[in-house]
Amino acid sequence: MNQIFFITGTDTGVGKTVLTALLATFLRGRGVSVAAFKPVCSGGRRDAVILQQALGGALALDEINPWHFRAAVAPVLAAELEKKSVRLAPVLAQLRAQRKKFAVTLVEGAGGLLSPLGEDFDSRDLIAALRATPIIVAPNQLGAVNHVLLTLAALPKDLRTRAKVVWMSPPKPDLAAAANVRLLARFFPRERIFTLAWFGKPVAVAAVLQRPQVRRTLAALART
């Protein structure tokens, strides 16, 4: 087994880090050697710290997140403010070297699928180069079906056919949230659409993983 999943989203702040941390902790609990990376980030390293905690310290923070910039703007712009740049080739080299050591590799993007990560690439470019299985995270709210379909349409066809979608539920699901799964299933295979309940903030990963439905969903997501 040498699987690689890329967790992207319809936007920033939709729950990518929460899902990545849950998957990493769940897989470790099943005895799987797993790595989680957020190779590029801006506006602080909190997400990378969460991933490091989910891995139980198996990787150093600088291994999980080698490129980080202070300004809370798109990484490509944050790098420019520090007179630095990030290019695709070194990021790919780092991820490819690290993934050889693990059975499952999780890579989390920054922002949405097409948000620029560096001078010449975005999350779509990383997914394609790594031949990763895309997992698209979206908030389960009114208007999000459009955002999910746009994200799916932006993926190359061969990657789109392997993609999975995860709806992250709001605290109080409304009519739109209840209908989104059914509506999306008109355009995308139902068996590759998943829903996770509201977990509260901050998310207590260990407590969340006590829920049987969460474990079943994560197990299905981890199958290619």
Which helix (H) or strand (E) is 133 found in, with range?
strand 133-139
Q: What is the pLDDT of residue 1?
A: 60
pLDDT, tens only, 99-157? 999 999 999 999 999 999 999 899 999 999 999 999 999 999 999 999 999 999 999 99
The CATH number for 39's domain is: 3.40.50.300
Q: How many domains does the chain have?
A: 1
pLDDT, tens only, 46-73? 999 999 999 998 999 999 999 999 999 9
The Cα–Cα gap between 153 and 147 comes to 10
Q: Indicate whether 220 pLDDT > 90.
A: yes
Kindly report each contact of residues 152-157 with a partner whose C-beta sits within 8 Å and lies 24 or more positions away, as own/partner: 152/188, 154/113, 154/114, 154/124, 155/113, 155/124, 155/127, 156/128
Whether 38 is catalytic is: yes
pLDDT, tens only, 31-47? 999 999 999 999 999 99
The parent domain of residue 26 ranges over: 3-221
In the structure, what pLDDT confidence band is assigned to residue 178 with cuts at 50, 70 and 90?
A: confident
Q: How far apart are the first and last CA of the chain?
A: 11
Q: What is the pLDDT of residue 109?
A: 97
Of 159, 34, 40, give the one whose Cα is nearest residue 94. 40
Q: Indicate whether 6 pLDDT > 80.
A: yes
Q: Mean pLDDT for the chain? A: 95
DSSP 171: S
Q: What is the pLDDT of residue 173?
A: 85
| Catalytic one of 16, 38, 84, 201 | 38
pLDDT, tens only, 69-87? 999 999 999 999 999 999 9
